[in-house]
Amino acid sequence: MTHTLPRTNSASKPNEPVTKQKIRRVKANGRERQRMHGLNSALDLLRQCVPITTQHQKLSKIETLRCARNYIGVLQRMATTGWQPTPLEYARILSAGMSQTTTNLIANMLQVPPRLVMGSPLTLGHQMNTLLPNNYFMDTMPSSSDSSFDLSPSPSHPIHSHPSPTHMHYPFPPQF
């Protein structure tokens, strides 16, 4: 059975029979488009749960995931130890692995001088190790251009439950 689909290629004739392979490709493209719409919707929801809000430009996909990872680390530490970070500590943790633009946004949001938030990678890595659970982050924090970066937290620190607070846009971490 052959089907006819409109052609956009000017070299082909309109109403030319379409092969099964082309029909499968059109269906696969539709499924991929739906999958990407679902992924983008999920990232939009995640952006609403991280403490960075911006009126003008939304965080990129990778920045959203990194911010969520950093925020989960802060909340986990606060919930398990009662630790309350200073605005500078909070800004440094949220900024780990982020672009300079996002780091500046975080610093301005928390009213911390951006130059204090941006430490050397070694200094920042040491601060991250002392502020968050061991092995929560990898040994080095890659730049935002590193596409091979694994965003998963260490298996030794799984998140056991996901309580959903009623309001997640905190300019400073919530008090537990």
Q: Is the model's pTM score more than 0.85?
A: no
Q: Which residues contact 164 (CB under 8 A, 6 or more apart)?
A: none
Identify which of 72, 68, 92, 90 has the alpha carbon closest to the alpha carbon of residue 80.
72
Question: pLDDT (tens digit, 9 = 90+) per residue, 124-154?
Answer: 455 455 555 544 444 334 344 443 333 333 3
Contact 98, 66 (CB under 8 A): yes
pLDDT computed for residue 150 by the predictor = 39
Question: pLDDT (tens digit, 9 = 90+) per residue, 20-41?
Answer: 999 999 999 999 999 999 999 9
Q: Which of 9-13, 48-52, 66-70, 91-95 has the lowest mean pLDDT?
A: 9-13
Angstrom distance (rounded) from CA 54 to CA 65: 16
78: its two tokens: 């606060």
- b/e per residue 22-47 (b: at least 16 CB within 10 A): eeeeeeeeeeeeeeeeeeeeebeeeb
67 or 135, which is more confident: 67
